[in-house]
Amino acid sequence: MSDHGYEAGRLNLPFVGISTFGKKEYVSDWDKIEADVAILGAPYDFGCQFRPGARFGPRAVREASTLFSFGHAGAYDHEDDATYLGSDVRIVDIGDADIIHTKTRESHANIEYGVKKILDAGAMPVTIGGDHSVNIPCINAFAEDCAENGPLHVVQIDAHLDFVDERHGVTVGHGNPMRRAIEKDYVTGMTQLGIRNVSSTAKEGYDDARARGSDILSVRQVRKLGTAAVLDRIPQGARYYVTIDIDAFCPSIAPGTGTPSHGGFQYYDVLEILQGLSKRGDVVGIDLVEVAPAYDPSESTQILAAQLLLNFIGFIFHNRQEALARD
Amino acid sequence: MSDHGYEAGRLNLPFVGISTFGKKEYVSDWDKIEADVAILGAPYDFGCQFRPGARFGPRAVREASTLFSFGHAGAYDHEDDATYLGSDVRIVDIGDADIIHTKTRESHANIEYGVKKILDAGAMPVTIGGDHSVNIPCINAFAEDCAENGPLHVVQIDAHLDFVDERHGVTVGHGNPMRRAIEKDYVTGMTQLGIRNVSSTAKEGYDDARARGSDILSVRQVRKLGTAAVLDRIPQGARYYVTIDIDAFCPSIAPGTGTPSHGGFQYYDVLEILQGLSKRGDVVGIDLVEVAPAYDPSESTQILAAQLLLNFIGFIFHNRQEALARD
Amino acid sequence: MSDHGYEAGRLNLPFVGISTFGKKEYVSDWDKIEADVAILGAPYDFGCQFRPGARFGPRAVREASTLFSFGHAGAYDHEDDATYLGSDVRIVDIGDADIIHTKTRESHANIEYGVKKILDAGAMPVTIGGDHSVNIPCINAFAEDCAENGPLHVVQIDAHLDFVDERHGVTVGHGNPMRRAIEKDYVTGMTQLGIRNVSSTAKEGYDDARARGSDILSVRQVRKLGTAAVLDRIPQGARYYVTIDIDAFCPSIAPGTGTPSHGGFQYYDVLEILQGLSKRGDVVGIDLVEVAPAYDPSESTQILAAQLLLNFIGFIFHNRQEALARD
Amino acid sequence: MSDHGYEAGRLNLPFVGISTFGKKEYVSDWDKIEADVAILGAPYDFGCQFRPGARFGPRAVREASTLFSFGHAGAYDHEDDATYLGSDVRIVDIGDADIIHTKTRESHANIEYGVKKILDAGAMPVTIGGDHSVNIPCINAFAEDCAENGPLHVVQIDAHLDFVDERHGVTVGHGNPMRRAIEKDYVTGMTQLGIRNVSSTAKEGYDDARARGSDILSVRQVRKLGTAAVLDRIPQGARYYVTIDIDAFCPSIAPGTGTPSHGGFQYYDVLEILQGLSKRGDVVGIDLVEVAPAYDPSESTQILAAQLLLNFIGFIFHNRQEALARD
Amino acid sequence: MSDHGYEAGRLNLPFVGISTFGKKEYVSDWDKIEADVAILGAPYDFGCQFRPGARFGPRAVREASTLFSFGHAGAYDHEDDATYLGSDVRIVDIGDADIIHTKTRESHANIEYGVKKILDAGAMPVTIGGDHSVNIPCINAFAEDCAENGPLHVVQIDAHLDFVDERHGVTVGHGNPMRRAIEKDYVTGMTQLGIRNVSSTAKEGYDDARARGSDILSVRQVRKLGTAAVLDRIPQGARYYVTIDIDAFCPSIAPGTGTPSHGGFQYYDVLEILQGLSKRGDVVGIDLVEVAPAYDPSESTQILAAQLLLNFIGFIFHNRQEALARD
Amino acid sequence: MSDHGYEAGRLNLPFVGISTFGKKEYVSDWDKIEADVAILGAPYDFGCQFRPGARFGPRAVREASTLFSFGHAGAYDHEDDATYLGSDVRIVDIGDADIIHTKTRESHANIEYGVKKILDAGAMPVTIGGDHSVNIPCINAFAEDCAENGPLHVVQIDAHLDFVDERHGVTVGHGNPMRRAIEKDYVTGMTQLGIRNVSSTAKEGYDDARARGSDILSVRQVRKLGTAAVLDRIPQGARYYVTIDIDAFCPSIAPGTGTPSHGGFQYYDVLEILQGLSKRGDVVGIDLVEVAPAYDPSESTQILAAQLLLNFIGFIFHNRQEALARD
């Protein structure tokens, strides 16, 4: 090892170095993933109905994540008096799924392939979109895993219900993923948080979602209930797949997205739900989608995405360790 | 009709097509307005005291409104379990009043003319500024209508009192409209919400406004009282004219404006007041002003304006129908 | 007609009014196109290989075109001592082709349909992209017209050859249009101007293009030859279809595009070729593609596109009239 | 005096004139400071660990401050029914400390010199950064003043603890100032508000800070306690030095900064603490740092800084006068 | 004098200090102008027909000018082997003319007053706009001076002829200044350079201008003639008033302006004409207008304006000294 | 090897994947550099005298370089009828030198260390700044190499002479590198191209540079001479070190830089000199500095840098092979 290495004492400020997620190791050979968490970029955005550009979400979130890479031996949080993401949590970045312009099916298949390789390696997949349609191959990839380890409860943080079955032949756009998910026999339920205002899903979509076992709460409903009561409505001890559409948040902190909707969540609204969720059961997969940096010169949106993901991953593995310690 | 028509099945995504307000029909002949609501642009901004550019407000709000045009048979709101703006609410866009550079009086006269034509057609005028001085011709245009149908109570949502009588000969700038409004014999009262921090109105303006029957509340006062109590202070069953200066909102969601002021309203603060107001009496006219898109590359401000206007119009006609149904 | 009409004396400044192309009449019924020129938006951009956003090209170019709408009785050009685009040239804007997210074939079909309707109406189609793949349906639409009126010579102004046959199954992306065009039996030749630097077309593409009768010139080659000599290489008296990729231009004046390439054309380089071409034969169709406004806060790119199109249309009809006058 | 003078009646709109802070007099000769408050720019930013650009903070805050310069005889606040910053409060702008590129020690010395000159003149120094390391020379400058007038309690409003002792030899970067301050014998205690999320300070820093007498509260802790209870934890009647890192605020209102951190303060959170503090003891010095305008095209960050500083200065002198009146 | 002074050794980097023009002394008392050159801001922009914002031109150009303030003993130009703007050329910045929102006549009168005060003080006025209509009061201010010292030849660098007599009652907008100038008996001729493309001036305007003695050249005509031949067409030994509309330049270097027009001048095109002009006669006044910074986040436009003005002023006084030396 | 690999058929569009330079392999262990060319980022910018931000130059140039990574088997240039950068040219990206905030000497030492490691590995170093001061450690690193292989002739492409010896104690800022270089006994000469307008170097600097054997040419002088004549002034067969300050270029194509200067080079001006130079002798090292992306939302500057570097590297190795073939 060269004496250039970090071990030998680089300061390694946030702005220095290649932008992998959290400046973690880049693993280009997908047969050699050895990690607890693997980051996959899914830069597909032909499923967007307004402003495109989420294809640059993976690069933007990676770059923003370097801002939070300067705690050396993990990240100390004085509010929790806990150190997250110590060296015992192995995170790798495996780059992006191959995207084929003009081709939705092929691009989605490549995303599914990447998530499967992560699951095969026994790591938790964290997929960074791309538009929300990339959730479809992410969920598809879990078929085998669920056959073995049990079904998923999907927790969606989003402004929009994304529950359109089909319109003009479109079944795998960014308005369809939750409908596609609920169709899986290995998805047993769904919690949809932050849903508000007009969108591409009509009344029938809401009725259908509820009929199929979805729990839909708006931002105001979540706030009125409080974090604890919201968490209580989510099945305990389940295997959670969490899909975060950045437009769930107020455009004030997440302006860089395709279809912004005012009245969204503030930071702690979501952070505390995610922290609670990490204590309530097993988070087995995550995607974070719809970061479109071209509309946010302040980079606030990508910083939010990175900060949220790093904290959420920290919570998950901290609570796994706590749970192990208790056993 | 060509089979190109929407009826025959266009998907008509938000980003597709000419930007009229809500992608509604453009009516260029102002003698042929047949509608419940008519949108008029008033792109005048020589009355602004800091950053100009509200002349591009009408175009920006129109473009943003296309994002909310993809609910087909009206817009379903799951929180209210109501479908707003169904095909029974006829909205048209009549384009802009003619603005004459260097000339304030003539430009204002053209705005007044447009609002009058809308009122003559029996439609509710929704004027998109332009700076807040365009409220002056809007209110002027109501003289005849009020003589026939009764006076107005003006509800202003704004950071600034805009109650300057005259300074350096200026009487129709964006710091003067509320003073001009209260002078009308057909304006019986005023509720001024969101007023905060230093502005061009001095202490005397506040005293004068109160003496003339204005109720002035800051953002913090509105929040402390709560929506219901604020609504209670507004005369019930009156004819309301609502003037919304986008700088009433927190710059976090409305940075694109001429004279931003921190500490402003969040989205639901105002939405709920507007929804309550639409149940409390007749909203007979609206203007929304001071959207200056050049200062907001995220387009958040114009999206807020469009989202707010479409929801407010939805509330008004929903409640009119409910009222009719009750009778 | 209302006395609001332009005839009755609106000043109608550029920033006032709905943004149709050149503030020309919007014709939503595609069975009622009565014009010499019809503008069609083709906001499809899933064919782009780097920065998306050309879906907002049509709206951006329309808005920019209003800057050039303030010459009343046509546009006087003192260098040519000519007045272009007088009231005898009828231009209409027919809005956009319907685009289906995730679906390339269907979106392209809708573009082809729109161009056909224009041709059926006897007007010259001017299509505003969208990415360069929209040229494919534009050319497709000419099959019938060419069967009747004779074949096309395609003149391409572009940084990239766009001559990829197939890669990874992609045949209709923005790297393929010129290959698709030359395959048509009604395309007899091609002039490709501005081609430079590395792109998705490999050496074989160049060989193939030349073998199929294409004349390829770089920016430096065009400048070295001079406008007249370049024009001399284009068959005289042919029916020209002109496809302008805005990235043909130097990024200094056209930064708002998906795949910028330094070393491009300056304004007069292209303007003079287009003016010469309009004298050399019949321009029967135009597309201008790859304007992606999100990357150009100065709006320079869309202003270039609008200025170029309005001038080019002016030249074409001026020379048609001159030709008629000579006969 | 020329009849051009303000006294003789200029309207003096915010956008008119040279940008000194609050359009106050510029005093270039630092031996002739005659004022209650003197503004000093400290445009040093080599101490920043992510996005630089705070060197343009002083110019940006000055320009934004002109927006709030249009109340003539002081600024009337209707919520407090008070007029702040009347002509009896003398504010001057003394320009910037000289900054030497590549040189930290020399630049800091020049800042210290400027603050000392202000203190020597008996005025309250208000230093506009620059990155947070400029707090180090600001505190250094108080040595003599404190020897005479008593020690300081430092109140820090910030996202980050900035309590690193030394890393890689760095002791005076923007992660070190609070550690440097607490080392002074004339700094008797510290209140650190808004601290959250991961940063360059590790757990040891928190322990050390608390051991040395610091009171650390996160944004959520401050909100849970409430303004009054937070103020109660700050020693009453002390001499306060207040250092405001703009990244204490939510990136929604302060995106233009080097190291944004979500979950920050809203406007009134901080305003009310500052107002309360001004009643609780003597504010003897202020710095406001880390405004980096290049990342905020909406100018929201600099407007926040200017609005906050002008209000804070207003509160301080209003309460000094009230206190005098009571005596 | 404090030892803080520049004389005593500040490095005074461009980014340090208050933004007056070239960091020159600010003279607020217009009865005490003692200088060779006085800079006046004229932040009026209600005369603009497309994008407003030139009211921030003076502040933007001042800030950009600080970039060129770091040559100590004048600015050495190695191409000319000359040092310009040594300490013998006294430049002061007198701030801005008072602008009254909604009021054109009053605002223009205040600009005229400021230019007159400069002329009364025997200094050369350099007015920074503001839109091009501010040229009208600038020229008006010369009435008395010309009565004494002889008439003016106006040299205009612009994309647009600005020769509209009256439209819709508008006579003093930004399309009218050259018409207003030629009406003065003390304006004996006009050279209009850079004029191109469609604008608000119709064919009649060109005929009228030529009939009244104007020499109109497009960018291409200027380039074809060459600098020397262009200069030859300008009367030698006259008193020149030079009005520079920044939109004369190619939008590639001057995107931040209200009505951009492609095909404009490059930097040396204009620089060499200005240098030549400074040798050909007496430049007695300058205005530079239409810098609207909101449309140019790169600040390129304001840097161009500052670089051009500083060089032009340098040429003028260098050649005056050379002329004196020759005598 | 996983079947995910590129060999197995990824399309690998420009927007897909981690941003290393040209998507080349990232080598984190500096003892294992096996390549012809190694890219090193040098994100130091405390040496800048106006707008900082060049610390993000390496990341920006890397991301832009992905746009040019889609030619598979090298990049075919039809003008040269040559394929550049085939698989025989091995390029690696070794990440960034470690930068220490507040510390210039240490940061420079780390850059020097990185360049030395590249030289030790027998590869050509290509350093991406950072401000121009990073050239100083780059040149320092060549001491040993030159002792062995012979001295350097430095070719500088820049707007500024950067020949300041010392000012205010500053000797290693971005105004000093050329002075520092010429002091080396292994630097035998210097060619400085593009130098223009006022800067931090005074007349004495020019005299000194010339006295020490520098050849200084402005943009206009270079154009007047022509590429061939310029090349003739550079010693043939020498070992060239080429330092490219992006501000050498016209701000129209390179606005994203700290100290822009109008009148700069266009793309082909420089490209052709670099191509000629690669034929004239051995290019043994390159740095490209002063790309500050925060000032260029169009990303044009970083695209220019990437396009230029990839072409230049292509030329160098193409000509080395041609030379070998000739031998």
The residue ranking higher by pLDDT, E287 or F69, is: E287
Choose from C100, C101, C298 for mutation: most chain A CBs within 10 A: C101
How many residues in chain E? 327
Is residue D277 a contact partner of residue D242, using CB atoms and an 8 Å limit?
yes
Strand-pair partners of F93: F26, F39
- Phi/psi for E86 (5° steps) reads -70, 180
The strands making up E124-129's β-sheet, listed across from edge to edge, are: E25-26, E91-96, E37-42, E124-129, E282-289, E239-245, E152-157, E187-193, E214-217
Query: What would the pLDDT profile of D225-272 be if each residue is shown by its tens digit?
Result: 999 999 999 999 999 999 999 999 999 999 999 999 999 999 999 999
More confident residue, F326 or E164: E164
Query: Quick check: F242 pLDDT over 80?
Result: yes
Neighboring chain A residues of C104 at a CB cutoff of 8 Å:
102-103
Confidence grade of residue B21 (pLDDT, cut at 50, 70, 90):
very high
B50/E43 Cα distance (integer angstroms): 11
The interaxial angle of helices F267-280 and F300-326, nearest 10 deg, is 20
C266 pLDDT exceeds 50? yes
Give the C-alpha distances (Å, rounded to integers) separating A242 from A126, A146, A154, A174, F285. 10, 15, 6, 16, 49
Amino acid in the structure at residue F89: V
Residues of chain B with a CB closer than 8 angstroms to some CB in chain D: 49-51, 161, 167-168, 170, 195-203, 206, 216, 218, 220-221, 250-253, 255-256, 259-263, 295-297
How do residues D283-318 score in pLDDT, each as one tens digit?
999 999 999 999 999 999 999 999 999 999 999 999
pLDDT in tens, F156-178: 999 999 999 999 999 999 999 99
Chain segment D59-75, per-residue pLDDT in tens? 999 999 999 985 557 88
How far from C43 is each of A104, A242, B24, C53, F201, CA to CA, in Å?
18, 33, 19, 9, 51
Cβ proximity of B83 and A203 under 8 Å:
yes
Asked if residues F151 and F188 have their Cβ atoms less than 8 Å apart, the reply is yes
Tell me which chain F residues have a C-beta less than 8 angstroms from the C-beta of C221. 79
- Among C167, C206, C295, whose Cβ lies nearest the Cβ of F78? C206
- Asked if residue F108 belongs to a known ligand binding site, the reply is no
Tokens representing B167 are 């300074």
Reported as a single tens digit per residue, the pLDDT across B102-131 is 999 999 999 999 999 999 999 999 999 999
Cis peptide before C130, with omega less than 30 degrees from 0? yes
Reduced to 3 states (helix: H, G, I; strand: E, B; else coil), residue D16 is coil
Nearest Cα residue in chain A from D50: A15
The answer to the question of whether E45 is labelled as a binding residue is: no
**Chain A residues with beta carbon closer than 8 angstroms to that of B308:** 262
All residues at 6 or more sequence positions from B146 whose CB lies less than 8 Å from its CB, including other chains: B152, B184, B186, B239
Q: Is A218 left (phi over 0), alpha (psi -120 to 50) or beta?
A: beta
| Whether the predicted pLDDT of C68 surpasses 70 | yes
Yes or no, beta carbons of E15 and D55 under 8 Å apart: yes
Judging contacts by C-beta atoms under 8 Å, the chain D residues touching residue A271 are: 263
| For A268, nearest residue in chain D (alpha carbons) | D263
Q: Hunting for tokens 């740095």 — which residue is that?
A: F287
Pairwise CA distance, residues A131 & A152, whole Å: 21
Give the distance from residue C114's alpha carbon to the nearest chain F alpha carbon, in angstroms: 31
CA distance B188 to chain C (A): 32
**Chains C & E: contacts with CB separation below 8 Å:** 89
Total H helices, total E strands in chain B: 10, 11
Beta strands in chain D (DSSP E): 25-26, 37-42, 75-77, 82-84, 91-96, 124-129, 152-157, 187-193, 214-217, 239-245, 282-289
Q: Which residues pair with B96 in a beta bridge?
A: B41
**Structure tokens given for D256:** 């233009």
User: Domain A19-326 adopts which CATH fold?
Assistant: Arginase; Chain A (3.40.800)
List chain A residues with CB under 8 Å of B252. 250, 252-253
| Residue of chain B whose Cα is closest to the Cα of D8 | B168
Residues of C in contact with A102 (CB under 8 A): 46-47, 104, 133, 170, 172-173
From the list A98, A117, A90, A112, the residue with the least C-alpha distance to A31 is A117
**How many CB atoms are located within 10 Å of the residue D70 CB?**
21
pLDDT digits (tens, 9 = 90+) for E20-38: 999 999 999 999 999 999 9
Each residue of C105-150: pLDDT tens digit?
999 999 999 999 999 999 999 999 999 999 999 999 999 999 999 9
| Fold held by C33-326 | Arginase; Chain A (3.40.800)
- Distance between CA atoms of residues F252 and A280, nearest Å: 56
Nearest CA in chain B to C25: B28
The answer to whether E67 contacts F259, with C-beta atoms less than 8 Å apart, is yes
Q: Average pLDDT for residues D204-216, to the nearest whole number?
A: 95
| CATH architecture of the domain with range F17-326 | 3-Layer(aba) Sandwich (3.40)
All residue ranges of chain A with pLDDT < 70 are: 1-8, 70-72
Quote the CA–CA distance of C161 and D7 in Å, as a whole number: 67
* Min distance A264 CA to chain B CA atoms (Å): 9
Percentage above 90 pLDDT, chain D: 89
Which amino acid, residue C225?
L
Q: Which residues of F touch E79 (CB under 8 A)?
A: 196, 218, 220-221
Q: Is the pLDDT of residue D222 over 60?
A: yes
- Among E51, E160, E198, the residue to mutate for chain C (most C Cβ within 10 A): E198
What residues in B contact A203, CB-CB < 8 Å? 76, 78, 83
* pLDDT for residue C7: 41
**pLDDT at residue D71, rounded to an integer:** 55
Q: Across the interface, do F93 and A18 touch by the CB < 8 Å criterion?
A: yes
3-class state of residue E227 by DSSP? helix
pLDDT at C71: 55
Residue E108: pLDDT over 50: yes
CATH number, domain B10-326: 3.40.800.10
Nearest to A40 by CA among A107, A115, A124, A98: A115
Q: How is residue F281 annotated by DSSP?
A: S
pLDDT at residue B1 greater than cutoff 60? no
Taking 60 as the threshold, does the pLDDT of residue C169 lie above it? yes
Neighbouring subunits of F (3+ Cβ pairs under 8 A): A, C, D, E
pLDDT given at position E298: 97
Model pLDDT, residue A70:
59
Q: How far apart are CA B316 and CA F175, in angstroms?
A: 65
User: CB-CB: which of F76, F268, F298 is closest to C220?
Assistant: F268
> What CA–CA distances, in Å, run from A319 to A24, A84, A284, A286, E321?
21, 10, 13, 16, 80
Of E1, E16, E100, the CB nearest to D43: E16
Section E142-151 average pLDDT: 98
Q: Are residues D206 and A78, on separate chains, in Cβ contact within 8 Å?
A: yes
CATH superfamily of D6-326: Ureohydrolase domain (3.40.800.10)
**Is residue B245 part of an annotated ligand binding site?**
yes
Q: Given pLDDT bands bounded at 50, 70 and 90, which one contains residue F70?
A: low
Contact B52 E49 (CB under 8 A): no
Three-state SS string over chain C comes to CCCCCHHHCCCCCCCCCCCCHHHCEECCCCCCCCCCEEEEEECCCCCCCCCCCHHHHHHHHHHHHHHHCCCCCCEEECCCCEEECCCCCCEEEEEECCCCCCCHHHHHHHHHHHHHHHHHCCCEEEEEECCHHHHHHHHHCCHHHHHHHCCEEEEEECCCCCCCCCECCECCCCCCHHHHHHCCCCEEEEEEECCCCCCCCCHHHHHHHHHCCEEEECHHHHHHHCHHHHHHCCCCCCEEEEEEEHHHECCCCCCCCCCCCCCCECHHHHHHHHHHHHHHCEEEEEEEECCCHHHCCCCHHHHHHHHHHHHHHHHHHHHHHHHHHHC
Candidate from A198, A252, A256 with C-beta closest to B75: A198
By C-alpha distance, the chain A residue nearest F64 is A59
What are the angstrom distances between the C-alpha of A265 and each of A115, A286, E46?
28, 19, 40
E6-12+19-326 belongs to CATH 3.40.800.10? yes
Task: Tell me which H or E stretch contains A109.
Answer: helix A104-120
Q: How confident is the model over F205-216, as a mean pLDDT? A: 95
Do A126 and A172 touch, CB atoms closer than 8 A? no
Closest CA to F309 of F14, F15, F40: F40
Bridge partner list, D124: D37
Of F56, F101, F104, the CB nearest to D102: F104
Q: What is the pLDDT of residue E5?
A: 39
Q: Which residue in the set F50, F198, F220 is minimally distant from E71, CB to CB?
A: F198
Which among F100, F173, F295 has the least Cβ separation from residue D101?
A: F173
Question: Least CB-CB distance to C95: which of B18, B28, B31?
Answer: B18
Upstream peptide bond of D74 is cis (omega within 30 degrees of 0) = no
**pLDDT above 80: residue C91:** yes
ipTM over 0.85: yes
| Chain A interface mutation, best of D197, D210, D220, D301, highest count of A Cβ atoms under 10 Å | D197
E50–C11 CB contact, under 8 Å:
no
Question: Which chains pack against A, by 3+ Cβ pairs within 8 A?
Answer: B, C, D, F
Q: pLDDT tens-digit profile of F124-145?
A: 999 999 999 999 999 999 999 9
Ligand-binding site membership of C3 (annotated): no
pLDDT of residue D202: 84
Find out whether D103 and F133 touch, Cβ atoms under 8 Å. Answer: no
The average pLDDT across E173-194 equals 98
Taking contacts as CB-CB distances below 8 angstroms, the residues of chain D near A253 are: 250-252, 262
Other C-beta atoms closer than 10 Å to the C-beta of D1 total: 12
pLDDT at position F7 is: 41
For residue D52, give the nearest of F49, F53, F133 by CB distance: F53
